Amino acid sequence: MQMGNLQLITLWAGDRFLGGTANLIDRQLAVLHSVAEGRDDDAGVDVGILLSVEMVSRAAQMRVSWVDLDHGDYDYKYRLGAQDRSVSYLTLRRRSRSRAMQFDPAMAPFAVKATREFIRAQDPDKARTAMAQLRRHALE
Protein backbone atom coordinates (compact mmCIF):
# COMPACT_ATOMS: atom_id res chain seq x y z
CA MET A 1 0.00 0.00 0.00
CA GLN A 2 1.33 3.43 -0.91
CA MET A 3 0.01 6.62 0.70
CA GLY A 4 1.97 9.59 -0.55
CA ASN A 5 5.49 9.12 0.75
CA LEU A 6 4.56 6.32 3.15
CA GLN A 7 4.81 2.76 1.89
CA LEU A 8 3.42 -0.19 3.85
CA ILE A 9 4.35 -3.74 2.84
CA THR A 10 2.71 -6.70 4.56
CA LEU A 11 3.31 -10.42 4.23
CA TRP A 12 0.57 -12.97 4.88
CA ALA A 13 0.22 -16.76 4.80
CA GLY A 14 -3.52 -17.16 4.30
CA ASP A 15 -5.07 -15.22 7.17
CA ARG A 16 -1.90 -15.32 9.31
CA PHE A 17 0.04 -12.06 9.45
CA LEU A 18 3.74 -12.84 9.07
CA GLY A 19 5.18 -9.35 9.06
CA GLY A 20 5.19 -5.85 7.74
CA THR A 21 7.43 -2.90 7.09
CA ALA A 22 6.80 0.84 6.93
CA ASN A 23 9.00 2.94 4.67
CA LEU A 24 9.32 6.63 3.95
CA ILE A 25 10.24 7.64 0.43
CA ASP A 26 12.28 10.78 -0.11
CA ARG A 27 11.56 11.43 -3.77
CA GLN A 28 13.79 14.48 -3.92
CA LEU A 29 16.87 12.49 -2.86
CA ALA A 30 15.60 9.21 -4.38
CA VAL A 31 16.01 7.38 -1.06
CA LEU A 32 13.76 4.86 0.66
CA HIS A 33 14.07 4.83 4.46
CA SER A 34 12.93 1.71 6.29
CA VAL A 35 11.51 3.11 9.53
CA ALA A 36 9.55 0.32 11.23
CA GLU A 37 9.27 -3.42 10.89
CA GLY A 38 7.48 -6.17 12.71
CA ARG A 39 7.54 -9.89 12.04
CA ASP A 40 6.52 -13.25 13.38
CA ASP A 41 9.79 -14.95 14.28
CA ASP A 42 7.96 -18.28 14.57
CA ALA A 43 6.72 -18.20 10.97
CA GLY A 44 9.12 -20.90 9.77
CA VAL A 45 10.53 -18.64 7.05
CA ASP A 46 12.89 -15.67 7.13
CA VAL A 47 10.18 -13.00 7.09
CA GLY A 48 12.75 -10.19 7.40
CA ILE A 49 14.56 -11.17 4.20
CA LEU A 50 11.27 -11.66 2.32
CA LEU A 51 10.08 -8.19 3.35
CA SER A 52 13.44 -6.66 2.46
CA VAL A 53 13.53 -8.28 -0.97
CA GLU A 54 10.03 -6.95 -1.71
CA MET A 55 11.03 -3.51 -0.41
CA VAL A 56 14.16 -3.39 -2.59
CA SER A 57 12.17 -4.61 -5.60
CA ARG A 58 9.59 -1.85 -5.16
CA ALA A 59 12.34 0.71 -4.62
CA ALA A 60 13.90 -0.28 -7.95
CA GLN A 61 10.54 0.12 -9.69
CA MET A 62 10.30 3.64 -8.23
CA ARG A 63 13.84 4.40 -9.44
CA VAL A 64 15.11 4.92 -5.90
CA SER A 65 18.89 5.24 -5.93
CA TRP A 66 19.48 3.70 -2.50
CA VAL A 67 17.64 2.04 0.35
CA ASP A 68 18.31 2.91 3.98
CA LEU A 69 17.79 -0.34 5.94
CA ASP A 70 17.96 1.53 9.26
CA HIS A 71 20.45 0.85 12.03
CA GLY A 72 22.03 -2.50 12.81
CA ASP A 73 24.58 -4.72 11.11
CA TYR A 74 22.37 -7.76 10.62
CA ASP A 75 23.52 -10.51 8.27
CA TYR A 76 20.46 -10.30 6.03
CA LYS A 77 21.33 -6.70 5.16
CA TYR A 78 24.72 -7.76 3.82
CA ARG A 79 23.06 -10.58 1.86
CA LEU A 80 21.07 -7.83 0.13
CA GLY A 81 24.29 -6.00 -0.76
CA ALA A 82 24.38 -3.48 2.09
CA GLN A 83 27.57 -1.56 2.73
CA ASP A 84 28.60 -0.02 6.03
CA ARG A 85 28.02 3.68 6.32
CA SER A 86 28.80 5.91 9.30
CA VAL A 87 25.78 7.69 10.67
CA SER A 88 25.18 9.89 13.66
CA TYR A 89 22.12 10.40 15.74
CA LEU A 90 21.20 12.38 18.78
CA THR A 91 19.15 11.08 21.67
CA LEU A 92 17.56 13.52 24.08
CA ARG A 93 16.07 12.29 27.32
CA ARG A 94 14.22 14.12 30.02
CA ARG A 95 15.88 14.02 33.39
CA SER A 96 12.56 13.97 35.17
CA ARG A 97 10.61 10.72 35.10
CA SER A 98 7.65 12.30 36.86
CA ARG A 99 4.19 11.37 35.61
CA ALA A 100 3.76 14.91 34.32
CA MET A 101 6.69 14.45 31.94
CA GLN A 102 5.61 11.09 30.50
CA PHE A 103 3.76 10.46 27.28
CA ASP A 104 0.01 10.44 27.82
CA PRO A 105 -1.54 7.58 25.80
CA ALA A 106 -4.64 9.73 25.33
CA MET A 107 -2.48 11.96 23.12
CA ALA A 108 -1.61 9.10 20.75
CA PRO A 109 -4.24 10.05 18.12
CA PHE A 110 -2.83 13.58 17.99
CA ALA A 111 0.71 12.22 17.72
CA VAL A 112 -0.32 9.94 14.85
CA LYS A 113 -2.02 12.88 13.12
CA ALA A 114 1.13 14.99 13.49
CA THR A 115 3.20 12.12 12.05
CA ARG A 116 0.89 11.93 9.02
CA GLU A 117 1.30 15.66 8.52
CA PHE A 118 5.10 15.29 8.54
CA ILE A 119 4.77 12.57 5.90
CA ARG A 120 2.43 14.67 3.75
CA ALA A 121 4.82 17.61 4.09
CA GLN A 122 7.59 15.32 2.81
CA ASP A 123 9.62 15.77 5.99
CA PRO A 124 11.03 12.26 6.54
CA ASP A 125 13.32 13.29 9.41
CA LYS A 126 10.46 14.61 11.52
CA ALA A 127 8.22 11.69 10.51
CA ARG A 128 10.90 9.14 11.43
CA THR A 129 11.49 10.85 14.79
CA ALA A 130 7.77 10.96 15.54
CA MET A 131 7.31 7.28 14.63
CA ALA A 132 10.27 6.29 16.79
CA GLN A 133 8.77 8.16 19.73
CA LEU A 134 5.39 6.51 19.21
CA ARG A 135 7.02 3.09 18.91
CA ARG A 136 9.09 3.65 22.07
CA HIS A 137 6.04 4.72 24.08
CA ALA A 138 3.99 1.82 22.73
CA LEU A 139 6.60 -0.57 24.15
CA GLU A 140 6.69 1.04 27.61
Dump strand ranges (E) for the chain: 2-3, 6-13, 16-26, 31-39, 66-68
Measured in whole angstroms, the distance separating CA 54 from the mean position of its chain's CA atoms is 15
Average pLDDT over residues 128-139: 76
**Band of the pLDDT at 129, cuts 50, 70, 90?**
confident
* Beta-bridge partner residues of 76: none
> Do 9 and 23 meet the contact criterion of CB atoms below 8 Å apart?
yes
pLDDT at 112: 81
pLDDT at 8: 93
Give the number of other Cβ atoms within 10 Å of residue 13's Cβ: 12
What is the pTM assigned to this prediction? Answer: 0.57
pLDDT tens for 48-70 read: 889 988 998 999 999 999 898 88
pLDDT above 60: residue 101: no
* Domains with residue ranges and CATH for the chain: 2-139 (3.40.630.30)
What letters, b where the CB count within 10 A reaches 16 and e where it falls short, cover 56-70?
bebbeeeebeebbbb
**Band of the pLDDT at 36, cuts 50, 70, 90?**
confident
